Structure 1
Amino acid sequence: MVTRVLTVSLLAGLLAGLLISALQHVTTTPLILKAETYEAALRAQPAPTLAAFNDEARIHLAHNNPAAGAEHTGEHEWKPQDGFQRTAFTSLVTIGTAIGFAALLLAGMIAANERIDERRALAWAVCGFLAFGLAPAMGLAPELPGAAAAELQHRQLWWLMTAAVTAGALFVFLRVEASWARALAVLALLLPHLIGAPHPAAPESKVPAEIAAHFAALSLAIQAALWLATGFAVGVLWPWATRRSAATAAA
């Protein structure tokens, strides 16, 4: 069973990741590159302006803009070069994400004693996107470089809480028939948004709103496509891997 889960997760993630990587290359990647031109304006600011920052701001600047902050912190951050190297690393991350999605889908369906086929795997993939993509994005939209943001730790905690609560609430709402349980599930879905996502006190961004909105919409569409492609691949490959295991055991 473990070998089958690993095999299907790797193959499904590889196939879905390669497909979505190609989509990213012609959709979200150009917007990221365009946003970085606005972010680079901060690096080009003259020395007197940079000197006005306090030490904390300089460190923050160095982490987000290595070229601008290196002279103040003495640190240099490595990043892939534009072109093939950057595309390759982005594709690897997308493939790794798809493998994680596939493993998560298989673990959830096996734990729920769900039959794994194309239709059911796609249904679980839709719920996965709702829990890990759409629901968190309602509070923390996908952001471009140069966009204003709250502290990373606070955003991560809110994201994790929202994803976990939404996933559990969807499972209860769809699998439990008791009305009181479904009512509690609906309340749980609303809870993270009632608490509210962390946002910066001064939401200033160097990226035009039109580009940021376009990126947020495309990012959600790409993530939905990644979940659906991964779910479809899992639904196709799992029965194949099961038949292959049965044939091997019979032999």
Structure 2
Amino acid sequence: MSELPQTPTMRLDGRRALVAGASSGIGFACAAALAEAGAEVTLAARNAERLDEAVTAIREAGHAASGLTLDIADVEAVGETVARAGPYDILVNSAGLGRHSPALETTPADFDTVCAINLRGAYFLAQTVAKGLIEAGKPGSLITISSQMGHVGGVDRAVYCATKHAVEGFTKAMAMEWGKDGIRVNTIAPTFIRTPMTEAIFAQPDKVRWIEEKIRLGRVGEAGDIMGAVLYLASDLSVMVTGTSLRVDGGWTAG
């Protein structure tokens, strides 16, 4: 009888991970998942106080974690800091921003602010981590938290959709370029997730009803719903997956 194929492991022992936007919400959940799987996780965020609380929580659970105060909109500073601290085997970029309004009311200031984090910051953070891996001759997994809005449109979300569609585009291009170096590049595209950033939305009953009608599984997402997806893309379970988007959207974009 033939030998059984061996399932790759989702363990991340011996690997270093950088999680940006890790002080709360999706980023914190991703950092916790990677740390529980054995990775040495560096949590990065702008708010130093909340970052310290997040690092402490992961350490108190018995896992390896450290903090790095970063604003990914400051591309030059991030490049220098991450280059010194790296190389990182895994990147999860969960830093993001939304300033929603009707497209006719978009201001240049809001457009530039959202693009600076969601697109420009995300692009150059991925570039910096990839450079470190290539210089070290190491493979790696780069993951950006995109959105279901990177695949569809949304009322009052023209700028946000533009940035997330752009993230999906550069992810495909980077995957094509860096595949020869063993670097995989993917996105996770969540639906509406209950986090501190979305509190204002979930405080509006009409918006909640609209969201629940669009999500085929009948409920809004929680940060924990992303943890399995990030483990899959970070680990050897997805060793042949690159240039794609894993939609954790409860069926929103299926219809």
State the TM bucket, normalised to the shorter chain: under 0.3
Instruction: Give the number of the structure whose alpha-carbon radius of gyration is greater.
Output: 1
Relative contact order (C-alpha < 8 Å, sep 6+): which is higher? 1
Higher strand share: 2
- The two structures have a TM-score, normalised by structure 2, of 0.22
Higher helix share: 1
